C-alpha cells in the first residue's frame, strides 16, 4: 500500500513541478500589480470578478453528464477532413483600405488606418498546454504563416485561456510586434515569454488608450480566466473596441450575454463590424458563453452594422456539431435583420461591405465532401 502512496505523491509532485517550471503556463502578477488591482472594484480576494451575477461552478450532475457526452457524444463534433485555408493575399492587406482576415476561432488580423492589429493570435495546433491532450485545430497549423505576416503594430488579447493566448504563437510573433494591449494581469504571461515590459499596456474595463490615431477600449465581459489549477481569475478578461479614422470595430472576447452589450453600443457604437463569440456553447456553461442567437442579439445591442460569428471553425470545445453555431446564427441574423458575414479561413474581406449579399456557406462544401 505504501508504494501506491509513494507513486501517487511522485505523480502529484511531478505535475506541480511541471506546472511551476514550464513557461506554457505563464507567469503570475507581481505584488505591486496585485496592490494596484486591489484598488479596483472588480477585484476582491486576490481575484477578478464579474460585476453582473455570474454562476461560476458546476454541480456533480453537470460533471457526470459532461463525462457521458464526451464518451458517447455526437460524431459530427469535428470535421471529417482538415478544413481548407484560403491562401491569404498579403498584398491586399498592405493596401490602404480597412480589412479583416479571419484565421479561425477568435484569431483575426485587422487592417485599420494603415495599421496591422492582430487579435487573440492563437495560431497553434492544440488549444491545450500539452500536445497529447486537448482539442486539435481543424485546419493546417497556421503557425507557419507567422513569418508571412506583415509587421504587426499591435496585438490585442481578450483573456488568457489557451484557445486565445498561445505560448508557441506569442514566442514566434513577439519579435515582429510593436506593442501588446492586454487585460490586467495578462502581462505576467507575456513577460515570462520574453516580451519586454515596456512593450505591454494593461487595461481595466472601460479604460482607453490612444495608439497612433486608433482609440482602444477594454470592455467588460462575463467570463473567467486561468491557465493552471491555482491561478483562476488572477488575470482579467474582456472585449475590445477599436476606433479608427474610417472604421469602427468591436470584438466581444468570450463571455455570456448581458446588459453590458447595450452599454457598449450606447457609449461607443455604432460599429462597422462586430465580431461576436457564439461557437462553444452549452446549457451547463451558459453564463460564460453565448449561443448563436444570443451572439446575434449582442451584435444588435452594440449597434453593429454587420457581424461575424467567431469562436468556431478551429477547435472542438463543446458538445454540439462543429457547423451548428453558424447554421443557427444564419436564421437568427435574418430574423433580426442583421447582416452576417462568413469569410473562409484565411480570407480577407473589407470592413465596410456595400452589398449585403449572401453567406458563402463554405462549411457546407466541407461537410458534403465524401
**3-state class of 203 per DSSP?**
strand
Q: What is the mean pLDDT of residues 208-215?
A: 98
- pLDDT of res. 326: 98
CA distance 346 to 104: 8
**Could you report the per-residue pLDDT of 279-305, keeping only the tens digit for each?**
999 999 999 999 999 999 999 999 999
Q: Is residue 32 part of a domain?
A: no
Q: Is residue 54 part of a domain?
A: no
Residue 56: name the closest of 235, 256, 229 by CA: 256
Least trusted range by pLDDT, from 45-54, 73-82, 180-189, 265-274: 73-82
Domain boundaries, position 126? 59-368
Q: Is residue 116 part of a domain?
A: yes
| Phi, psi for residue 263 in degrees, rounded to 5 | -65, -40
| Phi, psi for residue 24 in degrees, rounded to 5 | -55, -30
CA separation (Å) from 165 to 33, 91, 187? 20, 27, 11
**Could you report the per-residue pLDDT of 52-72, keeping only the tens digit for each?**
888 766 676 777 777 677 666
368 pLDDT exceeds 50? yes
CA separation (Å) from 78 to 138, 171, 363? 7, 28, 12
**pTM for the whole structure:** 0.92
Residue 120: name the closest of 28, 223, 206 by CA: 223
Q: Is residue 30 part of a domain?
A: no
Residue 9 pLDDT class (50, 70, 90 cuts): low
The count of domains in the chain is 1
Q: What is the mean pLDDT of residues 263-292?
A: 97
Residue 88: name the closest of 107, 105, 106, 109 by CA: 109
Proportion of the chain above pLDDT 70, given as a percent: 88
**3-state class of 100 per DSSP?**
strand
Q: Which residues pair with 290 in a beta bridge?
A: none
CATH code, domain with 271: 3.60.15.10
Q: Kindly state the cell numbers that stand for 281.
A: 456553447
CA separation (Å) from 136 to 100, 201, 248? 24, 31, 33
Q: Which residues contact 55 (CB under 8 A, 6 or more apart)?
A: 287
Provide, for the chain, the percentages of residues in helix, strand and coil under a 3-state DSSP scheme, each rounded to the nearest 5.
30, 20, 45
Q: Kindly state the cell numbers that stand for 297.
A: 442579439
**Could you report the per-residue pLDDT of 300-312, keeping only the tens digit for each?**
999 999 999 999 9
Q: Is residue 341 part of a domain?
A: yes
Q: Is residue 347 part of a domain?
A: yes
Least trusted range by pLDDT, from 21-35, 65-79, 255-269: 65-79
Amino acid at each position: 500500500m505504501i508504494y501506491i502512496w509513494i507513486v501517487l505523491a511522485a505523480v502529484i509532485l511531478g505535475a506541480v513541478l511541471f506546472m511551476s517550471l514550464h513557461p506554457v503556463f505563464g507567469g503570475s502578477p507581481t505584488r505591486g500589480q496585485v496592490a494596484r488591482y486591489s484598488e479596483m472594484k472588480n477585484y476582491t480576494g486576490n481575484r477578478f470578478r464579474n460585476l453582473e451575477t455570474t454562476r461560476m461552478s458546476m454541480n456533480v450532475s453537470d460533471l457526470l453528464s459532461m463525462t457521458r457526452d464526451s464518451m458517447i457524444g455526437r460524431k459530427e463534433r469535428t470535421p471529417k477532413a482538415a478544413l481548407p485555408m484560403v491562401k491569404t493575399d498579403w498584398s491586399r492587406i498592405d493596401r490602404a483600405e480597412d480589412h479583416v482576415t479571419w484565421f479561425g476561432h477568435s484569431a483575426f488580423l485587422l487592417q485599420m488606418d494603415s495599421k496591422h492589429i492582430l487579435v487573440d493570435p492563437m495560431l497553434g495546433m492544440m488549444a491545450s498546454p500539452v500536445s497529447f491532450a486537448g482539442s486539435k485545430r481543424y485546419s493546417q497549423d497556421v503557425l507557419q504563416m507567422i513569418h508571412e505576416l506583415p509587421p504587426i503594430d499591435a496585438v490585442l488579447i481578450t483573456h488568457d485561456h489557451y484557445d486565445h493566448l498561445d505560448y508557441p504563437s506569442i514566442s514566434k510573433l513577439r519579435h515582429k510586434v510593436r506593442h501588446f494591449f492586454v487585460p490586467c494581469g495578462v502581462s505576467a504571461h507575456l513577460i515570462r515569454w520574453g516580451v519586454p515590459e515596456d512593450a505591454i499596456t494593461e487595461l481595466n474595463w472601460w479604460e482607453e488608450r490612444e495608439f497612433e490615431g486608433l482609440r482602444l477600449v477594454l470592455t467588460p465581459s462575463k467570463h473567467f480566466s486561468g491557465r493552471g489549477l491555482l491561478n483562476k481569475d488572477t488575470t482579467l478578461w474582456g472585449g475590445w473596441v477599436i476606433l479608427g479614422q474610417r472604421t469602427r470595430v468591436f470584438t466581444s472576447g468570450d463571455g455570456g450575454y448581458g446588459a453590458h452589450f447595450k452599454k457598449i453600443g450606447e457609449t461607443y457604437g455604432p460599429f462597422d463590424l462586430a465580431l461576436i463569440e457564439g461557437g462553444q456553447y452549452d446549457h451547463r456553461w451558459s453564463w460564460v458563453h453565448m449561443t448563436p442567437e444570443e451572439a446575434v442579439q449582442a451584435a444588435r445591442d452594440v449597434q453593429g452594422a454587420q457581424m461575424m460569428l467567431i469562436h468556431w471553425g478551429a477547435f472542438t470545445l463543446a458538445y454540439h456539431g462543429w457547423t451548428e453555431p453558424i447554421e443557427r446564427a444564419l436564421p437568427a441574423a435574418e430574423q433580426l435583420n442583421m447582416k452576417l458575414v462568413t469569410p473562409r479561413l484565411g480570407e480577407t474581406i473589407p470592413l465596410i461591405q456595400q452589398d449585403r449579399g449572401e453567406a458563402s456557406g463554405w462549411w457546407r462544401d466541407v461537410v458534403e465532401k465524401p
